[in-house]
């Protein structure tokens, strides 16, 4: 099942399958988008999902606010500002920082269903 980038798409998936299954598929798609590697250090071990802007600081559960993250980075970052924390790490790279910033940009809103233009035939 293809997952949508918008919250509306996420809700659509909750209606189509169980909430647990929808969340599992959503988390799996995020990890796959990051090639099953931590967005911060590049590790492929003990992957989790990290809120870029922590929920304790107003971060939301939208695709643009979560990245694939190893358990070690997730625990180390905690609720710190991600740029401040990330820039102090030995594994910091400009490329990863740009990739995360690009990820955080809002997605274009797309309808859940696309209908073809209706052709009315006049007899």
Residue ranges of domains in the chain: 1-33, 35-104
Structure tokens at 105: 């940009």
Judged against a pLDDT cut of 70, whether residue 71 lies above it is answered with yes
In this prediction, residue 108 has a pLDDT band, given cuts at 50, 70 and 90, of: low
Model pTM score: 0.74
Percentage of the chain with pLDDT > 70? 71
Report how far residue 82's alpha carbon sits from residue 67's, in angstroms, rounded to the nearest whole number.
11
DSSP-derived secondary structure for 23-60: HHHHHHHHHHHTTTS-TTT---SSEEEEESS-GGGT--
Fold that domain 35-104 belongs to in CATH: DNA Binding (I), subunit A (1.10.30)
CA 83/CA 17 separation, integer angstroms: 36
What are the tens digits of pLDDT across the range 13-47? 556 666 677 788 888 989 999 999 999 999 999 99
Whether the pLDDT of residue 104 is over 90: the answer is yes
Q: Is 31 helix (H, G, I), strand (E, B) or coil?
A: helix
Query: Residue 73 has which token pair?
Result: 């980075």
């Amino acid at each position: 099942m293809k997952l949508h980038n918008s919250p509306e798409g996420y809700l659509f998936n909750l209606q189509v399958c169980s909430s647990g299954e929808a969340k599992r598929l959503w988390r799996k798609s995020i990890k796959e988008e990051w090639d099953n590697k931590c967005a911060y250090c590049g590790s492929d071990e003990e992957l989790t999902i990290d809120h870029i802007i922590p929920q304790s600081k107003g971060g939301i559960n939208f695709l643009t606010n979560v990245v694939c993250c190893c358990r070690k980075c997730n625990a180390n970052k905690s609720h710190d500002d991600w740029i401040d924390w990330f820039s102090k790490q030995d594994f910091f790279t400009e490329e990863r920082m740009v990739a995360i910033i690009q990820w955080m940009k809002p997605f274009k809103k797309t309808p859940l269903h696309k209908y073809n233009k209706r052709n009315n035939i006049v007899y």
